[in-house]
Structure 1
Amino acid sequence: MEAPAATPALPDAGAAAPPACRLYARRWLMLAIFVLCSLSNSIQWIQYSVITNIVTEYYRVDSNAVNWTAMLYEVLYIPLIFPASWILEKTGLRVCLLAGILGTALGSWVKVFSVGRHLFWVGFAGQSIVGGSQIFILSLPARIGAVWFGPDEVSTAVSIGVFGNQLGVALGFLLPPLIVKYHEGDMEASGSEFALMFYLMAGFCTVLLLVVVALFRAAPPTPPSPAQAAQKEAAADEGGGGGGSFLSSTWRLVTNPGFALLLVAYGINVGDFYAISTLLNQVVLQYFPGREVDVGRLGLVMVLAGMVGSVCCGVVLDKTHKYKEVTLAIYFMSLVGLVIYTFTLNCGYIEVVYFTIIFLGFFMTGYLPVGFELAAELTYPEPEGTSAGMLNASVQVFGIAFTLFYAWLFELAGDMWANGALCITLVVGTVITAVIRADLRRQSAQRQHLQPVPLPA
């Protein structure tokens, strides 16, 4: 059942009447459905890489081929994000989420038919379909937060939306090593376990597809905030979100100095995370041979810590609205975490590595929703889906470059030099973040209108 309309306080004499705004209880259901769909896609990102040593022996391929099962997520995102952003602005949240979960389910079923030891190419094709489908999912948290949630809860909603992606990555680290084991001299046993993993994933995605068809809606009948009402009016005035509107919006984004700087800083931080995650199996096993399950657990706790960091940062942003200051603090602590991780890998104690990777994950992964929200503030009233899509496109470019560079330097000179190079990139990103001007346009728009009274869910 939907909550009734809030009755706003009357404005002062002579003031402009505030737009009608409502908060609907079903906004939390929309967010929960999205979280599960995002999880179903991101859980497959690292599915092969986290068990690289098993995949290489079972399918008789080299580690480079396995690395590409993760990197193709980034490769496919770059050319497809702009048409996907146009589709989001043209058709809305429901069509985009349907496309994302449909592609994820289809790719998952393709992988079911890749269990034969000579069929790695079939699995790669399925992974490509899943990876391509993320373009319809990855940019949606900021848009869902803006379209469905009030001004004092939008950052929390965005952080929960990003939480779904992070939870999927965490389960992607945890589950494959638990399901698919290394059976020396008996790779057929591993084949049965691959089949089990693929069937479970395909079934889960199919159920989610049915849920989205039945329950998910694009937007509430009435906007949740004055800023969203003004944004909808501006979009209608400019042509209803058509092609011309999208192109002009994109041009304004790329010529926004603060957003241009954020594109680089955001790409560096999350690109470093992609590189570390993709090669985690290879880096950790050189110090702790035979500890594949621990590699999965390390990835799990890194992302779980980031999930906690994301939610904490979202709450802090909603309470303080200090977007620039929180972003800079998180960025600097990501640098500190990577330095600590770099110099503790060779300590000989896996427990120490667990501690340092939790510290790193809290800040590096926790940065994701903070960057989305700072972008929304810097670029208002441009659509949040477009700005988030461009941030993610930057991430994919840096993710590919950093992963290839990290793998090359790791093979050439070892993990100390490879991690040290990533530390240098974070120094650059911290400096760039520091010079971004805190032009919080969305907050200014909110202050020009009376706030709607939040209603209980």
Structure 2
Amino acid sequence: MIEEEDSERTALLTDRNYRIVNLRQSDNGTMGTYKTYKRRWIILFVLFLTSLSNAMIWISYSPIADKAANFYNVSAKSINWFALIYMVICIPFGFCAAWLLDTRGLRITLLLAAYLNVLGSGLRVLASFLPKGEFSIAITGQGIAALAQPLAVFAPTKLSALWFSEHQRTRANTVASMANPAGALLGSLIAPVIVYNNDRHLIGYLNIGCLGLAAIPAILGTFTVCSSIPPSPPSASAAEPSQTFFRGLKMLKSNKPFWLLCLCFGSGLGTFTAVSALIEQILCPWGYNSLFAGICGALLIVFGLIGSAIIGQIVDRTRKFEEIVKIGFSFASIAFLAFVVVHHYTDIKVAVGACISLFGLFAVSLYPVCNELAVECTFPVAEGTSSGLLFIAGQVIGVVMLLVSQAMASASPVSTPYQQCEAVSQKYGVEPYDYTYALLFMAIILSLCTLSLVSFFRCTYRRLKAEEELAAENILQSAVHRN
């Protein structure tokens, strides 16, 4: 009898339609269902667009740093603050975002992120149509949009845990998490196309595009995201209450695998962020123009999206989180070292593009897997807390890498015949800088963290183990109840 119940339960757990994925014993002794709802895809779409538009606002000036410096009449290093401010704000506000997500819920967090995007991008539009292109107003708008980033970036693990079955969590997390690099891709591609010269109106058109994209999820979410949780949970772990935010922080203090993962993930995210923000300035002294820099930024993310689609499927089927993360980090480190070697040779676009593509394939695609691995390592700590701390670690290391990179960059002669950096302002020329030593610094940090991860990281999949134990308990309870 128990064997028959076990077989029946296995069939339910592996139901490919995912409509009813488990059974549980309710408090009153009756049998309830774990269900998924179609509306989860709408919420996922709203989160995807919110994160996408936020990332586009973040990266939109990086591929056109020289032209943005000319428009606002500031130095290129001042333009770097449009990217850097995201990381600076995320560090303190990230804790507030994690608390808000875990206490006020997914709906409030998601709508707040969407409207902060609209307000921030609206100020950038206002600044771009003032007579002198007010830098202070534009950077204020960028700061407001930066407040939305942790709200949107911390949400995927929460959404996947509350609305998706255990067989769909990684894929849902992948879709939501990859919205951020997809937005960076969109910004990297569109910005050089729209702002193709120093015409002052073009910056305004770019900012209007960012505002229009940000407005879509704000309007859609207002009318479609009506609750933070579904009427019935989709899995056993979703039915269990998470720890409170502050209790979760206390539980994490002694979780060594989680902090090692934070350090290693942070080095990868920090490297990606620094390279994305500085890509034009890294390549232009060596004869590569802003269009090619934008293409490289796009390749970095396109191959990351491809890798994410593949890895998400593999992880959902195999549950080999730890093994995949270790392999991915190893190949990402090798690819980045190759990019450091080839980037300062002139006229080898294929090699530069290939190296940056491989780095994206292995590094960017690990982002959602690391988020899921963090949740597995820390369960029952709330998903927003563990994934939020992971992202904050990446922002801290990203800030350090950006600042150190700018400090280590050495000036190159403006008269170098093959350089493509434009001196766009009489007051502040965009002087070419050699970032080779800065890239070596990033490569060393990434390699050391990868070695530590491969050698010392071991993780117990606590959430999966809890779900398996609860499933086994439910099988026995069901058998007893029927007898």
TM-score normalized with structure 2 length? 0.85
Is the Cα contact below 8 Å between 1:19 and 1:229 reproduced in 2? Answer: no
- Give secondary structure in 2 for the equivalent of 1:346: coil
5 Å-filtered alignment, 1:117-128, equals: 117-128=132-143
Cα deviations by residue, 1:417-445 (Å, 9 ceiling, x for unpaired): 22221111112211221212121101101
Q: CA deviation at 1:321?
A: 0.7
Tell whether 2:157 aligns with 1:142.
yes
Tell whether 2:114 aligns with 1:101.
yes
Tell whether 2:209 aligns with 1:192.
no
Unaligned runs of 5+ in 1: 184-189, 236-244, 453-457
Percent of aligned pairs with the same amino acid: 27
5 Å-filtered alignment, 1:317-328, equals: 317-328=315-326
Equivalent position to 2:435, from 406, 415, 418: 415
Question: Which stretch shows the higher mean deviation, 418-427 or 147-156?
Answer: 418-427
Tell whether 2:452 aligns with 1:437.
no
- Matches of 2:295 and 2:228, distance apart in 1: 36
- Matches of 1:430 and 1:221, distance apart in 2: 42
Tell whether 2:224 aligns with 1:209.
no
5 Å-filtered alignment, 1:136-175, equals: 136-175=151-190
- Matches of 1:118 and 1:6, distance apart in 2: 56
5 Å-filtered alignment, 1:359-398, equals: 359-398=358-397
| Aligned residue in 1 for 2:89 | 76
Q: CA deviation at 1:207?
A: 2.7
The amino acid across from 2:466 in the alignment is: A
- Matches of 2:277 and 2:203, distance apart in 1: 20
Tell whether 2:233 aligns with 1:223.
yes
- Runs of 4+ with deviation above 6 angstroms: 16-19
Is the Cα contact below 8 Å between 2:188 and 2:298 reproduced in 1? Answer: yes
Equivalent position to 1:64, from 77, 90, 102: 77
Q: CA deviation at 1:336?
A: 0.8
Tell whether 2:70 aligns with 1:50.
no
| Aligned residue in 2 for 1:242 | none
Tell whether 2:296 aligns with 1:295.
no
Question: Which stretch shows the higher mean deviation, 78-87 or 67-76?
Answer: 78-87
Alignment length, in residue pairs? 428
| Aligned residue in 2 for 1:182 | 197
Is the Cα contact below 8 Å between 1:18 and 1:450 reproduced in 2? Answer: no
The amino acid across from 1:294 in the alignment is: F
Q: CA deviation at 1:168?
A: 0.4
Is the Cα contact below 8 Å between 2:71 and 2:133 reproduced in 1? Answer: no
- Matches of 2:256 and 2:265, distance apart in 1: 14
Q: CA deviation at 1:388?
A: 0.9
Q: CA deviation at 1:133?
A: 1.6
Is the Cα contact below 8 Å between 2:21 and 2:235 reproduced in 1? Answer: no
- Matches of 1:4 and 1:61, distance apart in 2: 55
Is the Cα contact below 8 Å between 2:21 and 2:234 reproduced in 1? Answer: no
Tell whether 2:101 aligns with 1:85.
no
The amino acid across from 1:269 in the alignment is: G
Tell whether 2:468 aligns with 1:447.
yes
Over 3 Å counting, the alpha-carbon distance change for 1:104 and 1:309 in structure 2 is same
Q: CA deviation at 1:383?
A: 0.8
Cα deviations by residue, 1:42-84 (Å, 9 ceiling, x for unpaired): 1111111221111112222111111111010000011111122
- Give secondary structure in 1 for the equivalent of 2:170: helix
Q: CA deviation at 1:397?
A: 0.6
Over 3 Å counting, the alpha-carbon distance change for 1:415 and 1:85 in structure 2 is same
- Give secondary structure in 2 for the equivalent of 1:61: coil
Q: CA deviation at 1:119?
A: 0.8
Q: CA deviation at 1:303?
A: 0.7
Over 3 Å counting, the alpha-carbon distance change for 1:362 and 1:59 in structure 2 is same
- Matches of 1:67 and 1:200, distance apart in 2: 21
Cα deviations by residue, 1:255-291 (Å, 9 ceiling, x for unpaired): 21111111111111111111111110101111125x2
Over 3 Å counting, the alpha-carbon distance change for 1:10 and 1:73 in structure 2 is closer
5 Å-filtered alignment, 1:320-359, equals: 320-347=318-345, 348-359=347-358
| Aligned residue in 2 for 1:6 | 20
Cα deviations by residue, 1:11-66 (Å, 9 ceiling, x for unpaired): 9xxxx998631111222221112111110101111111221111112222111111
| Aligned residue in 2 for 1:28 | 41
Cα deviations by residue, 1:288-336 (Å, 9 ceiling, x for unpaired): 25x2111111101111111111222211111111111111111111101
- Matches of 1:349 and 1:249, distance apart in 2: 50
- Give secondary structure in 1 for the equivalent of 2:58: coil
Q: CA deviation at 1:134?
A: 1.1
Question: Which stretch shows the higher mean deviation, 341-350 or 57-66?
Answer: 341-350
Is the Cα contact below 8 Å between 1:279 and 1:407 reproduced in 2? Answer: no
Is the Cα contact below 8 Å between 2:52 and 2:183 reproduced in 1? Answer: yes
The amino acid across from 1:419 in the alignment is: L
| Aligned residue in 2 for 1:241 | none
Over 3 Å counting, the alpha-carbon distance change for 1:118 and 1:426 in structure 2 is same
- Matches of 2:405 and 2:21, distance apart in 1: 56
Is the Cα contact below 8 Å between 1:163 and 1:311 reproduced in 2? Answer: no
Q: CA deviation at 1:351?
A: 2.2
Higher Rg:
2
Unaligned runs of 5+ in 2: 1-16, 412-432, 475-483
Is the Cα contact below 8 Å between 1:19 and 1:226 reproduced in 2? Answer: no
CA RMSD of aligned residues (A): 2.1
| Aligned residue in 2 for 1:187 | none
Is the Cα contact below 8 Å between 1:18 and 1:226 reproduced in 2? Answer: no
TM-score normalized with structure 1 length? 0.89
